[in-house]
Amino acid sequence: MAQQEDVFKKIVSHAKEYGFVFQSSEIYDGLAAVYDYGQNGVELKNNIKRYWWDAMTLLHENIVGIDSAIFMHPTIWKASGHVDAFNDPLIDNRDSKKRYRADVLIEEELAKIDDKIEKEVAKARKRFGESFDEALFRQTNPRVAEQVEKRQKLHERFANAMNDNNLEELRQIIIDCEIACPVSGTRNWTEVRQFNLMFRTEMGSTADGAMTVYLRPETAQGIFVNYLNVQKTGRMRLPFGIAQIGKAFRNEIVARQFIFRMREFEQMEMQFFVRPGQELQWFEFWKQWRLKWHKALGLGDSKYRYHDHDKLAHYANAATDIEFEMPFGFKEVEGIHSRTNFDLSQHEKFSGKNIKYFDPELNESYTPYVIETSIGVDRMFLSVLCSSYEEQKLEGGDTRVVLHLPAALAPVKCAVMPLVKKDGLPEKAREIVDDLKFDFATRYDEKDSIGKRYRRQDAVGTPFCITVDHQTLEDGTVTLRERDSMEQTRVNVADLHKLIHDRVSLTSLLRKLA
């Protein structure tokens, strides 16, 4: 675990050193849980968004996109339940004056028990070697059984307290588990109270009577309130979907793990509107399809798992998360929810407008049911970055840091390098750049030794380096170096475009989903 934490620290500093992610307002000592994307980060992020957008809107003829405003009528957040229920339970330690999420303190306690169980299993695996029957050991070992029972009891108590919104019980669990403040080490806790996560601001001057508005905590509501506009103007028939990418804001209290939990972040959400009664079959479809989208990137199939929710929100009838194995464990990257007709019905009630869909086949009007797929751009970015990072030992004792980014997502697709800065090689290299730049993010680099230039490109994940040498001037060939294998092949300049395109285009990635 400690080793993984070290790797994570290295990834965070690599992200800064190579222009992927900077702390926001750094020269003013930063703003907690807010980050800026640098010159390479923004390209990687844009490529992730493009992959998602094209997968949704090009591959499904019944999905269209919108871009709704961040500010919306405040009643929308009343209708959606965010004003009353988008809360985190907070608790303060009186000695350290530090504030925590009560649910996170308890979840960490559960994770500690999980760790104990895994340690017992790992010890036994080492002791018994090849003959180790893990399933049997988990069932029969008394120490494991004791921890499993302890975990189950705690989990049940915790889930009930959360479901019943029982803040006193949450505090009591913290006391009973003897959870201490990591800073002061004491158990001198305040009461637990609810804290709404929405940022508020005011619209209009005070003289006019300013209105409290919220920075949207999810993009989904912009889709719900526009669904009938899109349906009517686009002459859409059920089932159909609306996709949106945009910023969302949450005043997160426990903001940790770099860009995993931010106060300003981006979501890619798609609401799929279906006939009532057909929602569970569409839920299954989207559950499979979204995992396929992730796996097509080739980051490693074993890094994903579903986490089906056994406790559902009152309006949902199925929900699952797609989790990705980050250096700090499996974590939610995407949520897929069958939200019934809850949101649309609420908007109908609060707006007083009829927003039912008229189904020409059934000749009746009804409120559609909705399947939602919701993925955080920044979490997706983090999963791509973490799984691509490698400190690779090379023959001869050297090491290189390389980002094995999926080629279609890489910020730079190819770098063109004259072997030396004379003899007409820079001019020839520029000529190649001028040809490739219309289709690929192409860099020109003539500084330092060729080895150093390769390392610089490896560190930002550039799939191809093209080296122009004296032979190029004679026979029109260059060396094409591939990032992961470091293999170099001699190819014709005239073939470069096709060779690169075949490997880096988004189309080849999208074709895997067809």
* CB nearer ligand GAP, residue 387 or residue 472: 387
* CB nearer ligand GAP, residue 321 or residue 469: 321
Q: Are 349 and 79 in contact (CB under 8 A)?
A: yes
The reply to whether 379 sits near ligand GAP by the rule CB under 6 A is yes
* CB nearer ligand GAP, residue 112 or residue 309: 309
Range in contact with ligand GAP (rule: CB under 6 A) among 76-84, 306-314, 374-382, 427-435: 374-382
Question: In the window 213-232, what residues touch ligand GAP (CB under 6 A)?
Answer: 218, 220
Helices (H), 234-341: 279-295
* CB nearer ligand GAP, residue 236 or residue 270: 270
Strands 193-196 and 200-203: unpaired
* CB nearer ligand GAP, residue 313 or residue 355: 313
The reply to whether 262 sits near ligand GAP by the rule CB under 6 A is yes
Q: Is cis: bond before 239, omega within 30 of 0?
A: yes
Report the nearest approach of ligand GAP to the CB of residue 265 (Å). 4
Pairwise CA distance, residues 395 & 380, whole Å: 33
Report the nearest approach of ligand GAP to the CB of residue 270 (Å). 10
The reply to whether 383 sits near ligand GAP by the rule CB under 6 A is no
Among 171, 250, 287, 347, binds ligand GAP (CB under 6 A): 250
Report the nearest approach of ligand GAP to the CB of residue 271 (Å). 9
Among 279, 378, 445, 469, binds ligand GAP (CB under 6 A): 378
The reply to whether 509 sits near ligand GAP by the rule CB under 6 A is no
Cα-based distances in Å from 152 to 113, 156, 420: 10, 6, 66
Nearest to 512 by CA among 301, 306, 297: 297
Pairwise CA distance, residues 11 & 182, whole Å: 25
Report the nearest approach of ligand GAP to the CB of residue 248 (Å). 7
The site map against ligand GAP for 306-345 (x = CB under 6 A) is --------------------------xxxx----------
Residue count at the site for ligand GAP (CB under 6 A)? 19
The reply to whether 43 sits near ligand GAP by the rule CB under 6 A is no
Residue nearest to ligand GAP (CB): 376
CA dihedral over 248, 251, 256, 258, signed as positive or negative: positive
Pairwise CA distance, residues 493 & 165, whole Å: 66
The reply to whether 88 sits near ligand GAP by the rule CB under 6 A is no
Q: Are 219 and 245 in contact (CB under 8 A)?
A: yes
The DSSP-derived string for 411-436 is S--EEEEESSS-TTHHHHHHHHHHHH
* CB nearer ligand GAP, residue 319 or residue 468: 319
The DSSP-derived string for 216-240 is -S-SHHHHHTTHHHHHHHTT--SSE
Report the nearest approach of ligand GAP to the CB of residue 218 (Å). 4
Among 93, 147, 373, 374, binds ligand GAP (CB under 6 A): 374
The DSSP-derived string for 169-190 is HHHHHHHHTT---TTT----B-
Pairwise CA distance, residues 107 & 15, whole Å: 29
Among 173, 375, 384, 480, binds ligand GAP (CB under 6 A): 375
Range in contact with ligand GAP (rule: CB under 6 A) among 60-68, 172-180, 265-273, 429-437: 265-273
Question: Which residues, at least 6 apart from 449, have a Cβ–Cβ distance to it below 8 Å?
Answer: none
* CB nearer ligand GAP, residue 137 or residue 195: 195
Pairwise CA distance, residues 367 & 479, whole Å: 60
* CB nearer ligand GAP, residue 262 or residue 386: 262
Pairwise CA distance, residues 115 & 98, whole Å: 26
Among 101, 151, 157, 261, binds ligand GAP (CB under 6 A): 261
Report the nearest approach of ligand GAP to the CB of residue 369 (Å). 16
Nearest to 367 by CA among 348, 382, 395: 348
The reply to whether 411 sits near ligand GAP by the rule CB under 6 A is no
Amino acid at 390: E
* CB nearer ligand GAP, residue 372 or residue 458: 372
Question: Which residues, at least 6 apart from 245, have a Cβ–Cβ distance to it below 8 Å?
Answer: 49, 52, 53, 65, 67, 219, 266, 267, 268, 269, 377
Question: Which residues, at least 6 apart from 308, have a Cβ–Cβ distance to it below 8 Å?
Answer: 319, 320
* CB nearer ligand GAP, residue 380 or residue 465: 380
User: Which residues contribute to the site for ligand GAP (CB under 6 A)?
Assistant: 218, 220, 250, 252, 261-262, 265, 267, 269, 332-335, 372, 374-376, 378-379
